[in-house]
Chain A
């Protein structure tokens, strides 16, 4: 299957700092990427849809000023958690849609711990 990378895989930061997570589609172009959040033993909760060259679409209850999304190219989307707090600690997973096949592939995830 197609490959989606995500970096970093794990990050620990102090409360109040900002953290940037990158999501890349390595062997296909993705006009649409998605950012999910997953709590332990729970499902994937869609946070926002990232569209190349335009503003992201956020799900209800997700603060767009706190979770900044940029999709500057067809292979890269970034999620920045601004002024992170302990309650932002979670597993963040991106996915990219291969528009040619209409299939969604996931990155390996980023485990964020805010102290």
Chain B
């Protein structure tokens, strides 16, 4: 089945610096890759997503890149702010024999003021 690896598990950056989180997936049939931000005790919130026919997508300070050949995708946060501190999950979705989303293990991001 699909497996999603996410690194690093913990990331600490200074306010204003950039943060990069990387994920790899195993199922070449995966075609949709959302990223979620989860604050403590709250639901995961979709922050950005990318489809397999696109290589890069940007939304203000957040960008995601996808390399289908290598089966990896990354989240980039620029000009980080303390409120960016949270757990970020990548995910890979397939629609083969039914729609299914598999999540990475998560990255705990700390942005120090």
- Name A's B-contacting residues (CB within 8 A): 1, 32, 34, 41-44, 46, 49, 51, 57, 93, 97, 102-109
Contacts and interface: CB of A to CB of B under 8 A. Distances in A.
Contacts of B36: 106
A98 to B, nearest CB: 11
Contacts of B106: 42-43
Q: Is the interface of B mostly helix, strand, loop or mixed?
A: strand
Given A102-B32, A103-B34, A103-B49, A46 B101 contact: yes
A66 to B, nearest CB: 21
A46 B105 contact: no
Interface string B39-67: 00011111001000000000000000000
Given A43-B103, A43-B104, A43-B106, A108 B43 contact: yes
Contacts, number: 45
Q: DSSP class of A's interface residues: helix, strand, loop or mixed?
A: strand
Given A43-B104, A43-B105, A105 B99 contact: no
Nearest to A109: B43
A93 B36 CA distance: 14
A109 B42 CA distance: 7
B89 interface: yes
Contact of A106 (B44, B99, B108): B44
B74 to A, nearest CB: 18
Contacts of B34: 103-104
A49 B100 CA distance: 8
B98 A93 contact: no
A93 B42 CA distance: 10
Contacts of A102: 32
A105 B91 CA distance: 13
